[in-house]
Each structure stands twice: as C-alpha cells, then as structure tokens.
Amino acid sequence: MRFAYTLWAPIYDRLVEKPTQELRRQSLANLGDVLDQYVLMIGIGTGLDLPHLPNGAHYYGLDLTPAMLEKARLRAQALDISIELREGNAMDLPFTDEQFDVVILHTILAVVSDPDKALAEASRVLKPGGRLLVADKFLKPGDSAPLRRLLGFVLRPIATRTDVVFEYLLKKRPELAVIRDEPSLLGGWFRCIQLEKSTQAVPS
C-alpha cells in the first residue's frame, strides 16, 4: 500500500476532499471536548481531518506512506496545528499501551491487509474509558453485495478493500462497546462508528 499511496499522494486531495467532507464532519462532531487529551489519527493520510479538529489536544498522526505524511505536515503547518507525525504501520503501532484518550480511524480499517490486527492495535494504545472514532465503508453481516465485492477486486491492490464486515471485527474485541453507529455516505455503505473501551478487564 505504501507504493500505491505514494502514487495517490499528489492527487488524493483533489479526488477525496470534497466527497468525504461530510463524513469527516459527522464523525468528528463526536470528538467533543478534548482539551489536554492525547488524540491519535491512524492512517492520517494528507491530513484532511485537520481542519475539523478543535484546539487544545495533543495530536499525533501516523501513516505508512511518507508522501502522504509530507502533505499532512504542510497542512498542519498552514493551519498552525501542532501535531507529532510519525511513519509507521497501523498493524504494529510504535506507541505504548494505553497512551491515548481518543484514536481516530478514518478510512484505514478497510485499507489495511489485516483489519483485525489494526483494530486490536488501536484498542491496545487506547486508555480504559477512551474512545475510538471509526469512519469507513463496511458490509453488514450477511450482505452479499456482489457489485461492491466485485469492485474490491479492482480496488484492493491499489487503494482499499470493500469486503470488511465491521461486526466481525468487533466480535474479537469484547473490550470495545459501540456508543454510536450512524449511516453516512453512499446510502450507509460508509458509517461513522463511535466505540468506548471498557474500564474493566474483559476476558477475550
């Protein structure tokens, strides 16, 4: 994916910014008061979420692709947002356990090769009681969705998967509870999901 997104980087904003603006607004409306909190964006891309963020949090961004990160760096600079940007893999995060109050996963869970591992990692670095904001395209359990699955054959090697069922990912993470699950773009193919990590130890 690093190679693919290196090629996407120069045109990503032109293709993605407008169509996903409402999705970002909808998801980040759930951010609430994050004053002095630690907030991580996994797969931050070119930083299209940055204009929607409130001031006062400690922001971190991680991405696999240096060309995307460079765009995020320039955007943060232009917006005067202080953020620590790091190259890394969503499936093996370079952060310690329970480091963040909020983790944002915008169009990344359906991009990585192992979404189970990426969600497990996001949960690991989240503090008990912390929140996860997910915005992505997911199938529902039992959806046959032949057209979307077919599209996946084309898109998977160059951009994104189309076959991820969020409920199956969640089944493996009993410490995460759904607080909100709202339909968004393309008739609800894209969803904005808010999760909270349990403050109690949960048997897996």
Ligand X SMILES: C[S@@+](CC[C@H](N)C(=O)[O-])C[C@H]1O[C@@H](n2cnc3c(N)ncnc32)[C@H](O)[C@@H]1O
CB of 61 to ligand X, least distance (A): 9
What minimum distance in Å lies between the beta carbon of 72 and ligand X?
9
159 in Cβ contact with 8 (< 8 Å)? yes
Considering only 26, 45, 166, 192, the residue that binds ligand X (CB under 6 A) is 45
Nearest alpha carbon to residue 111 among 147, 73, 163, 168: 163
Return the number of the residue (109 or 176) whose C-beta is nearest ligand X.
Answer: 109
Which residue lies nearer to ligand X by CB, 111 or 139?
A: 111
- What is the spatial distance between Cα 111 and Cα 161, in angstroms, rounded to a whole number? 6
Single-letter amino acid, residue 137: K
DSSP string, 4-48: HHHHHHHHHHHHHHHHHHHHHHHHHTT----TT-EEEEET-TT-T
How many residues in the shown chain lie near ligand X by CB under 6 A? 19
68 counts as binding ligand X under rule CB under 6 A: yes
Is residue 63 a contact residue for ligand X (CB under 6 A)? yes
- Characterize 141-152 residue by residue with b for buried, 16 or more Cβ atoms within 10 angstroms of its Cβ, and e for exposed: eeeeeeebeeeb
Q: Is 125 in the site for ligand X (CB under 6 A)?
A: no
Taking the least distance from each CB to ligand X, the nearer of 128 and 153 is 153
Binding mask 93-122 for ligand X (x = CB under 6 A): -------------xxx--xx----------
| Site residues (vs ligand X, CB under 6 A) | 1, 5, 16, 43-45, 48, 63-65, 68, 89-91, 106-108, 111-112
